[in-house]
Chain A
Amino acid sequence: MGPWGFVLLAYGIVWSAIILYLGIIKMRLRKAEAEIRLHTGSGHSNHVEEK
């Protein structure tokens, strides 16, 4: 592997992992907010929906 191969491997892994982590947080947040809405019924919650 040439120098750019190592560079692109490092950048690819780092930004893929960060985007994956961000996606997981947002998915968990949507799930939790949906459950709160389900229990409160009215859709009122103390938490803001992330869009």
Chain B
Amino acid sequence: MDPVEKKKGKGRKILGVLATLFILLGLYWGLVKAPPDAFQGDVQRIMYLHIPSILTAYLSFFIVFVGSCLFLWKGERRDDILAHSAAEIGVLFTGLTIIEGSIWGKPIWGVWWTWDARLTLTAILFLIFVGYLMLRSLIEDEHRGAVCGAIIGIIGFVDIPLIHMSVYWWRTLHQPPSILRPDKTPWENIDPALLWPLSINFVAFFLLFFYLLSLRIHLGETEYEVKRIRLYGET
């Protein structure tokens, strides 16, 4: 067994255990210990999933952007595997953000969905990266698929600043940001009784993200090895 891989596997297991602990702590704090919101009541507890989910999706697509730029610059397979892996996880978390937002929107706004600027741009982000994944699976030429994917990955990332600024540029039903605000820190904007469980869930989602990314990269490398063996045989 390769010692580097053995070390990576051990690190991945530690990351998985840490993520599980923080997820359980986040669930307890978010569902049991945190008080209900003064205006929204218990429904506000969806926030402990919704904000960490979208920020995890943003982080995923930032990694897609970096991996894609590096791949187009250097042409190394590992950068493409990084971008492809992060894109898959980003699609998962963007899809979950849309579902959570819809479930939160129904009791608060009275509708499951509205063509609000932020919601629409988030749906566009989701569709761009679903397209990215479909393209990667449809193009048989590995290198061509990677180049096309990298171009879509870079273009798709441009949607994120638009999503973030949409609540300032257009009149939207969606509230302004609670965390990433230029004028206020989160401590000034959110009561500590709500900010603590939110912070714990941020840590849980980021640990989970890095665990999933590490596992998905390992899968990408292993599947590449399988393809190589099928084409050229064991060397």
Which A residues are closer than 8 A to B by beta carbons?
1, 3-4, 6-7, 9-11, 13-14, 17-18, 21-22, 25-26, 28-29, 32-33, 35-36, 39-40, 45-48, 50
Q: A-facing mask of B3-22, CB < 8 A → 1, else 0?
A: 00110110010000000000
List chain A residues, Cβ under 8 A from B103.
6, 9-10, 13
Contact residue among A7, A13, A28, A36 (Cβ-Cβ distance under 8 Å from B96): A13
| Cross-chain contact B218 with A29 (CB below 8 angstroms) | yes
Q: Is B116 in the interface zone, CB < 8 Å from A? A: no
Q: A-facing mask of B206-235, CB < 8 A → 1, else 0?
A: 001000100110110111011001000110
| Cross-chain contact A48 with B5 (CB below 8 angstroms) | yes
| Cross-chain contact B99 with A11 (CB below 8 angstroms) | no
| Cross-chain contact B223 with A39 (CB below 8 angstroms) | no
Q: Is B118 in the interface zone, CB < 8 Å from A? A: no
Which B residues are closer than 8 A to A by beta carbons?
1-2, 5-6, 8-9, 12, 27, 31, 41-43, 45-46, 49-50, 53, 92, 95-96, 99-100, 103-104, 106-107, 208, 212, 215-216, 218-219, 221-223, 225-226, 229, 233-234
- Listed from nearest, the 5 A-B pairs whose CB atoms lie closest are A48-B9, A3-B42, A32-B222, A48-B5, A10-B103
| Cross-chain contact B2 with A3 (CB below 8 angstroms) | no
**A32 in contact with B226 given A3-B41, A7-B31, A48-B6 (CB within 8 Å):** yes
Contact residue among A7, A26, A45, A50 (Cβ-Cβ distance under 8 Å from B43): A7
C-alpha gap A3/B216 in the complex (Å)? 36
| Cross-chain contact A46 with B104 (CB below 8 angstroms) | no
| Cross-chain contact B222 with A47 (CB below 8 angstroms) | yes
| Cross-chain contact A32 with B6 (CB below 8 angstroms) | no
Task: Provide 16 A-B residue pairs closer than 8 Å at the C-beta atoms, listed in order of the A residue.
Answer: A4-B42, A7-B31, A7-B43, A10-B100, A17-B92, A21-B212, A28-B219, A29-B218, A29-B219, A36-B229, A39-B234, A40-B234, A47-B5, A47-B221, A47-B222, A48-B9
* Nearest residue, chain A, Cβ from B106: A6
**A6 in contact with B43 given A25-B216, A28-B219, A48-B5 (CB within 8 Å):** yes
| Cross-chain contact B96 with A11 (CB below 8 angstroms) | no
List chain B residues, Cβ under 8 A from A9.
103
List chain A residues, Cβ under 8 A from B95.
17
